[in-house]
Amino acid sequence: MTAQHAVFGHPITHSRSPFIHAAFAQAEGIALQYRAIDADLETFPAALQAFFADGGRAANVTLPLKEAAFALCASHGHAAQRAGAVNTLIWREQHWHGENTDGSGLVRDLTSRHGLDLRGCRVLLLGAGGAARGVAPALLDAGIDELVVANRTASRADALVDAMGEPGRVISAYWEALDEQGDFEIILNATSAAHGATPPPKLPSSLVNSRTSAVDLNYGAAAVPFLAWANAAGCRKQIDGLGMLVEQAAEAFHLWHGRHPDTEPVYAQLRAQLL
């Protein structure tokens, strides 16, 4: 029987997840149907129920639904529990179980594909939504020295900092006062500003030192504004979120099927499509 899978989000037509999981399934010899379902915060619960009624038992969740997905799950994996956000759903023991593979996918991409050593780094995390919550715990577990969280709504940054439970190591900063924060080895954009009509606020070049790498969790056109700033500011590396997308999908695939697919062929195909 063909397994029913889906990715939920809004907007969702741009999603590469159906392609990625179809490629993984073909390589691993698994029969799988994977589709994209457009759902916003209001329609997501009903859309998930309809997916379940149609035989769906495993799914991914993207913007803006990761925190809503957490609330719909009766149990959570460690990474999801710590993040308060879910990007992977599994039907288990008569309920939805939530996992979060964003952080492990990001760390795997940065360290294995791009050769970054995260240990001892000072990291600036821009944004405090579901994407930021998904990657913050994994960055801390990877051995970074300090995580500074900045969000245009300061209370959201404070809430993320509180959720991490490491005062002194994880702190919040006012976006308007980023020029007072010194420099960072990694500047990570986890905002969704490029997906909407409002451009991201201008960042000061004082955030950059000779070792700074800029990382955007977005990819394609959505990553262009931040990475253009990073190039102009002199960041040593400019990395988009395509590799993270593939790696977090591989982690989800492993949770569902017990196999970890080879990610390089799929990453190479997607990178060629973006050129």
Q: What is the pLDDT of residues 10-56, one digit of tens each?
A: 999 989 999 999 999 999 999 999 999 999 999 999 999 999 999 99
Nearest to 247 by CA among 143, 111, 57: 111
Inter-residue contact 128 to 152 (CB < 8 Å): no
Catalytic residue among 5, 10, 66, 82: 66
Nearest-angstrom CA–CA distance, 140 and 217: 17
pLDDT greater than 70 at residue 195: no
pLDDT greater than 60 at residue 196: no
Active site residue 237: no
- Give pLDDT, residue 201: 66
- Give pLDDT, residue 193: 63
- Which residue's structure tokens are 């392609």? 19
Local confidence band at 3 (pLDDT 50, 70, 90 cut-offs): confident
pLDDT of 82-133, one tens digit each?
999 999 999 999 999 999 999 999 999 999 999 999 999 999 999 999 899 9
Q: Residues annotated in the binding site for shikimate, as ranges?
A: 15-17, 62, 87, 102, 219, 248
DSSP bridge partners of 5? 34, 58
Domain(s) labelled CATH 3.40.50.720 in the chain stretch across 103-242
Q: Determine what percent of the chain is predicted with pLDDT higher than 90.
A: 93
pLDDT of 121-170, one tens digit each?
999 999 999 899 999 999 999 999 999 999 999 999 999 999 999 999 99
Q: Residues annotated in the binding site, as ranges?
A: 15-17, 62, 87, 102, 127-131, 151-156, 217, 219, 241, 248
Fold of 3-101+247-263: Rossmann fold (3.40.50)
Domain(s) labelled CATH 3.40.50.10860 in the chain stretch across 3-101+247-263
Nearest-angstrom CA–CA distance, 11 and 257: 27
Mean pLDDT of the chain: 94
Local confidence band at 2 (pLDDT 50, 70, 90 cut-offs): confident
Bigger pLDDT: 193 vs 217: 217
pLDDT greater than 50 at residue 197: no
- Give pLDDT, residue 194: 54
Hey, which bits of 1-133 come out as E strands? 3-9, 32-38, 58-61, 75-76, 88-92, 95-99, 122-126
Q: Residues annotated in the binding site for NADP(+), as ranges?
A: 127-131, 151-156, 217, 241
- Give pLDDT, residue 202: 81
pTM above 0.85, yes or no: yes
Fold of 103-242: Rossmann fold (3.40.50)
